[in-house]
C-alpha cells in the first residue's frame, strides 16, 4: 500500500489560507501532519485562527486529531495553537508529549518567548485495515541561533527517540 503524507507548517494557522487549501486539494494526501494550527471557532475571527474548523469543512478527511501546545495571546484575543493530524484512515489512538514547557499562555508575537514556547510530540495510531500505522508530528524546539544544539533541543531529541523506538509501521 502506498500512503501519501504531507507535513506543513500553516504559519500562524494559515496566513496564506487560500493558497494552502489549493495546494492541499491538489495534492490530495492520505495523511496531513500540520503545525501552527489554531482551533478557535469564533466566526468573527479570520480563517487562520479557525484552521481546524476550515480544514475539516473544506477537505475530505475521515478523522483528525488536535494536540494543543499553548494558548496564544494575540491582538485578536487568545487562541489555542498546536499540531494536527488529518487522516483518510481512522485514528484509533492519540497522545501528546511535551518537550520542554508545559501547556501555557504565550505572548505569540514576542521573540523573547520563542526559545521557551511549549512544543509537543503528537502521536496518533491509524487503522489501515490490515495493519496499524504509528504517525508522529511535531514542531521543534528552537531559539534565535539555528545552529545551537541547546539542552532543550537535546531533550527534544531524546523524547522523539524514546517515542519511536521499537515502534513498527
List pLDDT tens digits, range 10-66: 998 998 999 999 999 999 999 999 999 999 999 999 999 999 999 999 999 999 999
Positive or negative, the Cα torsion across 112, 37, 71, 68? negative
Displacement of CA 31 from its chain's centroid (Å): 12
**Residue scoring higher pLDDT (143 or 100):** 100
Q: In the structure, what pLDDT confidence band is assigned to residue 143 with cuts at 50, 70 and 90? A: low
Confidence of residue 79 (pLDDT cuts 50, 70, 90): very high
The answer to whether 7 touches 137, Cβ cutoff 8 Å, is yes
In words, the CATH class of domain 5-164 is alpha beta
What mean pLDDT value characterizes the chain? 93
Amino acid at each position: 500500500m502506498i500512503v501519501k503524507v504531507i507535513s506543513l507548517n500553516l504559519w500562524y494557522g494559515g496566513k496564506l489560507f487560500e493558497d494552502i487549501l489549493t495546494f492541499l486539494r491538489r495534492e490530495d494526501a492520505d495523511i496531513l501532519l500540520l503545525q501552527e494550527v489554531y482551533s478557535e471557532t469564533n466566526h468573527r475571527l479570520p480563517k487562520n485562527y479557525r484552521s481546524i474548523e476550515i480544514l475539516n469543512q473544506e477537505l475530505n478527511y475521515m478523522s483528525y486529531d488536535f494536540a494543543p501546545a499553548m494558548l496564544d495571546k494575540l491582538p485578536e484575543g487568545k487562541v489555542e495553537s498546536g499540531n494536527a493530524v488529518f487522516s483518510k484512515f481512522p485514528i484509533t489512538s492519540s497522545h501528546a508529549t511535551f518537550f520542554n514547557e508545559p501547556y501555557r499562555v504565550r505572548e505569540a508575537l514576542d521573540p523573547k518567548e520563542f526559545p521557551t514556547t511549549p512544543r509537543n510530540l503528537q502521536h496518533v495510531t491509524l487503522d489501515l485495515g490490515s495493519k496499524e500505522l504509528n504517525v508522529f508530528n511535531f514542531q521543534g524546539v528552537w531559539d534565535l541561533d539555528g545552529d545551537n544544539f541547546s539542552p532543550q533541543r537535546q531533550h527534544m531529541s531524546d523524547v522523539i527517540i524514546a517515542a519511536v523506538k521499537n515502534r513498527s509501521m
